[in-house]
Homo-oligomer: A and B are copies of this chain.
Amino acid sequence: MNKIRPTIRDVANLAGVSHQTVSRVINREGRVNPETRDKVEDAISKLGYIPNVIAKSMARGATKTLACISPNLIDYTYASIIDAAQAEVRQLGYYIISVSVPDEELFSKIIAELVLSGRTDGLLLINPCVHQWKKYLPQAFPVVIAGAYPFEDSVNTASLDEIAAGRMATQHLIENGHRKIAVIAGPADEYSAQARLTGYRDALRNASIPYHSTLIMEGDWSATAGYQAVEMLLSAGAEFTAIFAQNDRMAVGAIKSLQSHQMNVPEDVSVVGFDDIPLASYFTPSLTTMQQNMDELGKQAARLLIRALEQSEPEFEHIKIPSHIILRSSTASL
């Protein structure tokens, strides 16, 4: 057993052809005589030859590797997008290097090492918390933003229809007779939070319900934040019969706070969440929530990215993934 890996030339020698012919066979391009092809393929399997991807990248100037930058790799929504994207691109021969980027300083370093160094052909940006992300990238480098709409058109995006989802969640409560609906929103500087709130206001307007900013609380998506938001609402004496929590973690925290004040969900207060996290139906009460098809989002984002890097003309697309409500037991008619 020879420890050195065979190269294209070893195959060529064994098959009695030039290495270029071997290359043609491997890449199934250009006319190759069927007999020659057979000889080469024989030699390939005889030697157990596998093309060296790095050499190929070098010669072609493309690596078939993509980068994915996400706030973290753990949160269910991010992880779902990455998993789906990865599975999708793999079928086209691409692989994804995923990196979690907590702060902006690291971002530029990562871009340098992952993009500017030629290590990857394209970039998937999940909820880019870095506002000026564009200035770190070479012009025309293929990028897709997944999960959050970037406030600008000259980039590919795949995102949820956050406004519609926020509207639907609110409408569900309104249809159940609620008119005093509190909101536990995400951070004000995140598009998701703003858009879901916009949807909320749309729904109120449609139902001719006045908007009260005192019913709007801001949280950082954590369960603790949801808990605290309710504590603040209660201590401020706010009146509400329902809560629209902008994610499930905060919904769960909110419910916990309500229950600790002897308020029953949904009898006293209805709570609608957002995300449909895996165990959403196992909380008490089970969570009514907005389901998001993160798989589809990741898949679409991946396709968009590959299309972007395989086409010459840059052309930007904005894909919206619809959400729908999952009715469970945390909401009820007034």
Residues of A within 8 A of B (CB): 5, 50-55, 57-58, 63, 65, 72-74, 76, 79-80, 82-83, 86-87, 90, 93, 95-100, 110, 112-114, 116-119, 223, 249, 252-253, 255-256, 277-279, 282-284
In the complex, are the beta carbons of B97 and A65 less than 8 A apart?
A: yes
- Knowing A50-B117, A117-B51, A279-B249 are in contact, say whether A98-B100 is a contact too (CB < 8 A): no
Q: Smallest Cβ distance from A257 to chain B, in angstroms?
A: 11
A172 to B157 Cα, complex, angstroms? 50
A100 to B95 Cα, complex, angstroms? 11
A58 to B112 Cα, complex, angstroms? 19
In the complex, are the beta carbons of B87 and A100 less than 8 A apart?
A: yes
Q: Which of B58, B80, B97, B279 contacts A95 (CB 8 A)?
A: B97
- Knowing A87-B100, A96-B98 are in contact, say whether A73-B65 is a contact too (CB < 8 A): no
Chain B residues with CB under 8 Å of A100's CB are 83, 86-87
For the complex of A and B, the 5 pairs showing the least CB-CB separation, nearest first, are A284-B284, A73-B83, A53-B117, A74-B79, A252-B282
Chain B residues with CB under 8 Å of A99's CB are 86, 90, 95
Residue of B nearest to A100 (CB): B83
Q: Which of B5, B54, B114, B253 contacts A63 (CB 8 A)?
A: B54
Residue of B nearest to A64 (CB): B119
Chain B residues with CB under 8 Å of A86's CB are 73, 98-100
Q: Which of B58, B249, B279 contacts A58 (CB 8 A)?
A: B58
